[in-house]
Structures are given as structure tokens and as C-alpha cells.
Structure 1
Amino acid sequence: MKIAFMASDAVAIPAIESVWKNPKTELVAIVSNPDKPKGRGGKVSPNDVSTWAVSHGVLLLRPEKSPDKDVIEALKNAGAECVVVMAYGRILKEEFLNFAPLGCLNLHGSILPELRGASPIETAIALGKTSTGVSLMRIVKKMDAGDVADVVETEISPRETGKSLREKIGIDAARLLERNFDKIAEKTLVFTPQNEENATYSRKISKSDLYLDFSKSARELDLRIRAFGCGIVSINGEVLKIGEAFANSGGKNIKFGMVASVSKDRILISCAEGFLNVQKIQAPCAKMLSVSQFLNGYKIDHGVVFDKFENEKLLK
């Protein structure tokens, strides 16, 4: 079975490699997004999927917009019988969805209909879920609303991070796809409609979601820091990043965002409920440091209050 894969994010690489390595399948092409500026210098660089395709000598297509007739023609010429999509990031038109004789399938990083949308992996952690998964589904016009053929459940560990969960989801996506290769080739996949009443939508995460809203509980902020990679706070407009923290139990607090305690190995910040126990913190233009290292060159006084922010809801 000749498969074309569409992806732009590293989470899809294990699934791509499962197609590449399996004797039952042939990876004939990869469709990804064009190179984009990265980092502080804004150097234009390929994404991880494009880099993988080039290093493995696989035909790579990078259309500027949603794949058009030229992309379809190129995939037909490559012999693509099936198209698999994961974390590609562009809307696919109906003519594209229908050209491959074995269909166009999507690997989505949640157990649908929960957490449709742009950020299911990080949002699952931020919401405090203990499990999520991957769904193999049909693609339809409505976002992530297609019928589902198979799912794999993925455990979310107590101290899971967005990075570690993405790695697990990537591996589970490969496992899910591989166990369905025969059914895809034989057109024997059985699809089940999603229950629309249970649908939830995760929105695209922005930098503003990293700012910590201390009117939330310490547990909620701990989850956000792990989900999004860090939390951002500020004192009188000076921005600091929190790289690691824990939720300490405690009652409800009146003064949100106040530094309740400073010691050599932690900074405790009062939240609506409990205290955020900061373990790693970063000053502007500096490295992420342990609290003890940070306090050697930066002073945070007991009783100081961090600036207020209000977070947007994670679900649309």
C-alpha cells in the first residue's frame, strides 16, 4: 500500500516512520508546510517533518496554501493510494479528500469527540485529565468531526509535561496506524459516528496563555506550567518565567499573587486556593535557574505581589 503523509509537527514522525519501515507499506511522499522563521534571529528553517523527509530521501511537497490540483497531481504521479494526516495545520478541500482510492485519514491527539481542535495534547494536561489518546478518523468539513475507526488510550502521568505527552502520543499514533494497515488496504475499516453532544473544542494556544492568573488554584497553575512548558509572571512590568513548580495545599487566600514565603530552595506564591511552590525561575535575558541560584543575583521580597492577569478559557 502506497501512502502519502501530511504533517508539519514532530509529533507525527513516529507514525511517518511506521509507514517508512513497515514491509506492507511504502511512503511515497510527505506534504508539509513551507519553511518559517525560527528563534530570536528569525532564521528561516524547515520544520522537523520536512527535515526528516529530506534526510530520508522522500519526495517532499510544501505548498504555500491548502493543497491544490498541482499537489494532487504530484501525489497521483507518486502512486499514492492513501493519505494519512497528523498535525498538518491546514484545511483540506473536498477534491483533495476524495482523490486517493483508499481514502484520506487523520490521526488526532485525543479520544474524540473530546478535545477536537488545535491543542488537544497540551489542553488535556492543563485540564487535569488522567488519560487521553489518539483517534483514527475520517476527515470531513467540520473540524475533527469525522467518523472514528479506532482509538488508542494514552495515560497522563501525575507529573506529565506537554513535551513528554507529545512523545507518548506520537508513539501511540504510530501503533494505532500500524495495527490498521491491513484494514485500510482492504477497505474494511468500520467507522463509528461521534456523539456531538459530548464534543469539546481546544483552541490554539497563544503566549497569553502562559501568563499565570493567581485567581486560579495552585493546582490549575501547576498544570498549566507543565502543559505549556513554563508560566510567565511579572512584577511591576518586569517579566519572569517559571519553569517548574508544585501545588502546595492550603486554604483559600484573599491576596492572590502575593509572595507568602521566600527561602533558599523555594518561593511560595498565594493563589485562590493553595500556594504555588516555585522551583525553577528565569530572569529576562538569563538562563532558567533553580530558586537558590536565582536568588543569588535577584531579589524577591516576602509580601511583594505579582501583576494580575486573567486567562481565557481553554475550551471554546
Structure 2
Amino acid sequence: MRLVFAGTPEPAVPSLRALLDSPRHEVVAVVTRPDAPAGRGRRLVRSPVAALADEHGIEVLTPARAGEPGFLDRLAELAPDACPVVAYGALLPQRTLDIPRHGWVNLHFSLLPAWRGAAPVQAAIRAGDEITGASTFRIVKELDAGPVYGVVTEKIEPSDTAGALLDRLAVSGARLLVSTMDGIEDGRLQAEPQPAEGISYAPKVTVDDAKADFTLPALAVDRLVRSVTPEPGAWAWFRGERLKLGPVAPAEGPRPAPGEVLVERRRVLVGTATAAVRLGEVQAQGKKRMPAADWARGSRIEQGERLT
């Protein structure tokens, strides 16, 4: 089939690469978000998807809005059979959805109808789900509500961060997306409506959402921190400044008060509503990331000081 691929960040790259490697399909163009400023110099940088398309000499379309007349005209000229989508990052109006004859087929990193929305991987970890996965579905006007073509499942490991889990799903999801395109081309794959029960939503995670709350049980603190690692990154207040937190782990032994920092010889503990958690790496404001023990020695933490 003739395909126009839509995607922007790094997790979309395995899917684009898999489609480029497929002998059955031709990616004739890529749709991605416009170049964005990055780094200290705020230099405009191509999206990871655009960079891969450039390497293969594929046309890159970067509309500010997917309903722009010029973009719609070019998309119609390209005459795609289908438009596979992975984390494109923009809404698609109906007139855009109507152009490809097989529609726009989204790879979403959850087992729909669970965790519709922008941050399904983060939500699954934070909720303590043991199994998650990826789904391919045909995009409709309602958010992530279209009929599903296929799914792949993935176990959530106790130490998984959102980044690690998303890396695995990006690879297994790429295989699912290619097989979905194959099935649509063959006519053997029909999309099935999503169940009306079990719907949940996963809105975009903000920096405020990533603040650790040590009045919660240790398990909840652990899940929260892992769910926002690496982005936007967990944090807490210490001495009036933000302290960035790497993954923590529930710890046996002393149980300081919620938020209280207890420095031992080989570990740094923080109290929660239940057991303490052991800090991994931390990053103080204006400093490099470092093991919590090194941070604690340099900070000369006094008894009773807290993360809040």
C-alpha cells in the first residue's frame, strides 16, 4: 500500500523504520510536527521521525495544523491508501481523516479502551497495572475511541520506568503496526468496536503531576517516580529548592516520618506513610545528577530534615 506516516518523537521511529523495511508497503511521505527549539542555544531541531525520513529521502510535511488547506491538497495529491500514526501529537480534523481510503490507523501504547489519551504508559505504571500493551485502531473523531485492529501485550516489570517500558512497546508495537497494514491490504483484518466498559483516560503528565508525595504509601511513591522517569522527572522540595529524583525502592529497616531524610552509611532513606523508600540518584538545583549518598554527604543533612 501507499502510506503517509505520521509521527514525531523517538518512540515513533521503530514503526517508521519497520514500514520502510517492509517489502509490501511504500512510505511516500511523512507528517510530523514542525522543527522545535532545543538545547541551551534553542536551535531549531528536526523531530526524530523527520530525521529518519530525511535519511531515506522521503518528503516531510510539517503543517502547523493538520487541517491547513495546503496540507490537505498535498495529502490528496499523494493519494495514500492508509496513514499509519504513532505519537504524532496533533488533532486530525474529519476532512483530513477522510482522505486515505483505509483511514488513519493509530498505534496506541495501551490495551484499549484502557488509558485513552496522551500518557498511557505513565498511567499504567502509576496505577500499578501488571499488564499493558499496544493497540492499533482506526482514528475517529472521539479521542482514541475507534475500532481496534489488533493488540500486543507486555508485562510491566516491578522496576520498569516509563522510558524503559515505552522502549519495549515501541518495538513490539512496530511489528503490530506492520502486521495491521498487511492485514488491511489483504482484506483479512476487520476492526472491532471497543468495549463500552473499562474505559479510562491518561491525560498528559505535567511537571506538577511529577511531584513526589511522601505522605502516600511507599508503593505509591515508587510507582509515581517510575511513571515519570525520564520525563518530566520526579521531584520534591528540599531546603526551598527542587530536588530531582531518580527511581526509588521500598526499603526494609527504619521507618522515618513521611518525608524525613535518614542518612545511613550506604543508603539514604525517606519516610512515607508505610515503609521508607531508598533514594537512587538525585539532582540538586544547579548540580549534576549523582548517587543519593554523595548528595547527602555534600549537603550535610541534619536530623529531622525533610523532602516535601
- Given that 1:265 and 1:279 are in contact with CA atoms closer than 8 Å, whether structure 2 keeps it comes out as no
TM-superposed deviation, 1:268:
1.0
Q: What is the CA-CA distance between 1:251 and the residue it aligns to?
A: 10
Superposed CA deviations along residues 258-299 of structure 1, whole A, max 9, x for unmatched, are 12x212332111111211111211111111111232234222
1:76-101 per-position Cα deviation (integer Å, ceiling 9, x unaligned): 33342111111111111111111112
Give, in angstroms, the shift of residue 217 of structure 1. Answer: 1.2
Q: Does the aligned pair in 1 maintain the 2:136–2:180 contact within 8 Å? A: no
Using the TM superposition, give the Cα deviation of residue 49 of structure 1 relative to its aligned residue in structure 2, in angstroms: 1.2
| Counterpart code for 1:279 | G
Whole-angstrom distance in 1 between the partners of 2:77 and 2:115: 36
Deviations along 1:105-132, one digit per CA (max 9) or x if unpaired, are 1111100000000100121112221211
Confirm or deny that 1:237 pairs with 2:240: yes
Q: Distance in 2 between matches of 1:301 and 1:132?
A: 42
Match of 2:172 in 1: 172
* Residues 1:39 and 2:39 are matched in the alignment: yes
Q: Distance in 1 between matches of 2:266 and 2:160?
A: 22
Residue of structure 1 equivalent to 2:258:
256
Alignment of 1:186-205 (within 5 A): 186-205=186-205
Equivalent position amino acid for 2:260 in 1 = M
Gaps of 5+ in 2: none
- State the partner residue of 2:273: 272
- 8 Å CA contact 1:279, 1:291 repeated in 2: yes
Instruction: Give the number of equivalent residue pairs.
Output: 305
CA distance in 2 between partners of 1:57 and 1:265 (Å): 53
Matched to 1:7, the amino acid is G
2-side partners of 1:38 and 1:205: how far apart? 20
Q: Distance in 2 between matches of 1:43 and 1:263?
A: 44
Q: Which residue of 1 aligns with 2:115?
A: 115
Q: CA deviation at 1:149?
A: 1.3
Higher strand share: 1
* 3-state secondary structure, aligned to 2:306: coil
Deviation string 1:119-160 (CA, Å, 9 cap, x unpaired) is 001211122212111111011111001111111111211211
Checking the alignment, whether the CA contact within 8 Å between 2:4 and 2:31 is kept in structure 1 is yes
Change (3 A) 1:217 1:67: same
Give the corresponding residue for 1:182. 182
Query: What's 1:83 paired with?
Result: 83
* Aligned AA (2:97): L
Q: Is the 8 A contact 2:28 2:59 kept in 1?
A: yes
User: Is the 8 Å Cα contact of residues 102 and 185 (structure 1) preserved in structure 2?
Assistant: no
Contact 2:5 2:84 in 1 (8 A): yes
Q: 1:102, 1:242 → 2: CA distance? A: 45
Equivalent residue, structure 2, for 1:312: none
Letter in 2 for 1:258: E
Q: In 2, distance between residues paired with 1:209 and 1:40?
A: 25
Give the aligned partner of residue 247 of structure 1. Answer: 250
- Cα deviation, residue 252, structure 1: 8.7
**Residues in 2 aligned to 1:211 and 1:166: alpha-carbon distance in whole angstroms:** 21
Cα distance in 2 for partners of 1:252, 1:105 equals 50
* Cα distance between partner residues in 2 of 1:274 and 1:222: 11
Decide whether aligned partners of structure 1 residues 272 and 39 sit closer, same or farther in structure 2, where only a CA change above 3 A counts: farther
**Sequence identity percentage:** 31
Aligned-CA RMSD value: 1.8
Within 5 Å, give how 1:1-316 maps onto structure 2: 1-229=1-229, 230-248=233-251, 255-259=257-261, 261-307=262-308
For 1:84 and 1:201, the matched residues in 2 are separated by 22
When structure 1 is superposed on structure 2, of 164-173 and 69-78 the one drifting more is 69-78
After superposing the two structures, state which structure 1 stretch, 89-98 or 64-73, moved more: 64-73
Contact in 2 for aligned 1:128/1:223 (Cα 8 Å): yes
Deviations 1:159-178 (A, max 9, x none): 11111111111111111112
Q: In the aligned structure 2, how far is the partner of 1:270 from the partner of 1:292?
A: 16
Residues 133, 152 of structure 2: 8 Å contact kept: yes
The offset of 1:235, in angstroms, is: 2.1
Deviation at 1:246, TM superposition (A): 0.6
Q: Which secondary structure does the structure 2 equivalent of 1:60 belong to?
A: strand
**Contact 1:262/1:301, CA 8 A, preserved across alignment:** no
